[in-house]
Amino acid sequence: MQLTGLYWGHKLLKYVDFPCADVLGPDASAGEIKDLLERHKQIFIKPIFKGGVGKKGKMGLLGRVDSVEDALREKERLFFIEHISENNVAKAEGVTYESAIPAEHEIYFSISDNTRFRAPTITITHHGGMDIEELPADKLKVIPFDPLTGFKGFIVSNALRELEAPQELISPLVQHLPKLWDLYHNYGMTMLELNPIRMMPQNKRLVPVACDFKCSFDRDDPNWMRLGIPNSAFASDYSEFEQEINQLRTYQGQSDVFVINDKGTITPMTFGGGANALVSDLLSDRATISSDFGGNPPYEKMKQVADICYKYWLPQSNVLFIIGGKANNTDIFETFRAMGDGLRSFITKNGPQPLFVVVGRGGPNLVRGMAYLRDTLEDLRIPYRFFGHDSAMSEIVNYAKDVDDWMKKEGVRPMMLKARG
């Protein structure tokens, strides 16, 4: 759950009274743009992407204008522009108009939880405005601090002195940066980055003004909801399937599920984070989804999860693959009963279809669970193989792949359907 850009950033910064460039949203009228230009002489036009999309400047996805006409021309260019990075394509949904902030100094600042220190940690440099990864280590400071006392001004002061930052930067940053801890700590963030903060001269002092914004929220912390950000701001992070199924996400039984390949032919119902990592590695693009349903989900929840997974993915799947290690606590009977009942509902509703079920599992109530699923599959006339936890998980994955390969051959799926009668 990420947000980038000032469209949401300026609203969030307002919560802690951190100075920010003036921002108009995509609905801004020509009059409002003109007014912004009159006040600031120059403005930036930036496309709005949902979720986390960075490096817009480098990609040329940024307009810098000083007239309304140019602003409108840039708006037309950038309003629906595509951002392509590696295999990901994001489409813009509007633009922001942001005031240009004249400044001599640009600051990079971020807060995140750093696993090297196992503490919240700031990263700061007065050589901002560039990729932080490109900066030599001696030009930035990475400083952990105690979350019980919080992020205080002296940490900023010490860091900047050690960096030998210009004197005039220190006081304004000591005054304003600690406000960001409130936003970070109390609204469920796991990362907050302002780059650049431009030091704007004002009344003989410098004022730090945020000119770009990036943050990540912790999905497990409901505090972000207090910020009034609609779910739709993150919507492009999730497919329709992911949105539907992740509504069931609670601490009682995981339901973390994401689409791997919407053309995949094996639908893995994976139990456990470890199994998820292993199975995803081994199945790769054959898998429709990546899932972890461990954590002992109750029947009702597992049934709902199975219903949604089956609805989206079974019609195209050759193999329904139920896989996990030797469960410690997940009740195999309850989870298998739910997945079996889900399969029965699916076949009842959609009619028979060629499918092979491969299971690899161990844990409490294993045999009862397997027996229930066996009875269901035999009643539905679906072929299957169940392996216990004494078979190597990777061997079972390979078996599922072999079945998938065979079912991809011409005529096999129709033959299976015919055999079902």
Q: Is 410 in the site for other proteins (CB under 8 A)?
A: no
- List strand residue ranges (DSSP E) for 87-187, in order: 88-91, 95-99, 106-114, 119-125, 141-144
Contact pick of 159, 256, 264, 308 for other proteins (by CB under 8 A): 256
Q: Which two tokens stand for residue 214?
A: 């990036």
In 3D space, the residue among 331, 333, 324 whose CA is nearest the CA of residue 367 turns out to be 333
Closest distance to other proteins from the beta carbon of 273 (Å): 3
Between β-strands 356-362 and 82-85, what pairing exists: parallel, antiparallel or unpaired? Answer: unpaired
Closest distance to other proteins from the beta carbon of 280 (Å): 5
Q: Is 19 in the site for other proteins (CB under 8 A)?
A: no
* Residue (44 or 384) nearer to other proteins, CB: 384
Given the rule CB under 8 A, which of 122-130, 164-172, 206-214, 255-263 is the region that contacts other proteins? 255-263
Q: Which two tokens stand for residue 126?
A: 């007065």
* Residue (34 or 311) nearer to other proteins, CB: 311
Contact pick of 54, 324, 340, 342 for other proteins (by CB under 8 A): 324
- List strand residue ranges (DSSP E) for 203-338, in order: 205-210, 214-217, 256-259, 266-271, 289-292, 319-326
Burial class (CB in 10 A: 0-12, 13-18, 19+), 355: buried
Q: Is 278 in the site for other proteins (CB under 8 A)?
A: yes
196-235 residues in contact with other proteins (CB under 8 A) are: 218-221, 223
Residue whose entry in the numeric block shows the structure tokens 């299957």: 384
Contact pick of 99, 110, 195, 276 for other proteins (by CB under 8 A): 276
Q: What SS3 class is residue 412?
A: helix
* Residue (97 or 184) nearer to other proteins, CB: 184
* Rg of the chain in Å (alpha carbons): 27
Contact pick of 136, 232, 329, 351 for other proteins (by CB under 8 A): 329
* Residue (213 or 336) nearer to other proteins, CB: 336
Torsion (CA) 295, 300, 304, 305 in degrees, nearest 10:
10
Binding mask 129-168 toward other proteins (x if CB under 8 A, else -) reads -----------------xxx--------------------
109-128 residues in contact with other proteins (CB under 8 A) are: 113, 115-116, 118-120
Judge contact between 324 and 271, C-beta under 8 A: yes
* Residue (86 or 164) nearer to other proteins, CB: 86
Q: Is 386 in the site for other proteins (CB under 8 A)?
A: yes
Judge contact between 401 and 266, C-beta under 8 A: yes
Contact pick of 284, 316, 352, 414 for other proteins (by CB under 8 A): 284
In 3D space, the residue among 285, 316, 320, 318 whose CA is nearest the CA of residue 306 turns out to be 320
Q: Is 267 in the site for other proteins (CB under 8 A)?
A: no
343-372 residues in contact with other proteins (CB under 8 A) are: 348, 362-364, 366-368, 370-371
Given the rule CB under 8 A, which of 101-109, 124-132, 134-142, 270-278 is the region that contacts other proteins? 270-278
Contact pick of 237, 239, 244, 353 for other proteins (by CB under 8 A): 237
**Cis-peptide, bond into residue 196, ω within 30° of zero:** yes
- List strand residue ranges (DSSP E) for 264-336, in order: 266-271, 289-292, 319-326
Q: Which two tokens stand for residue 238?
A: 């999730």
Closest distance to other proteins from the beta carbon of 221 (Å): 4
Contact pick of 102, 240, 379, 414 for other proteins (by CB under 8 A): 379
Closest distance to other proteins from the beta carbon of 420 (Å): 7
Q: How many CA atoms lie within 13 A of 267 on its CB side?
A: 22
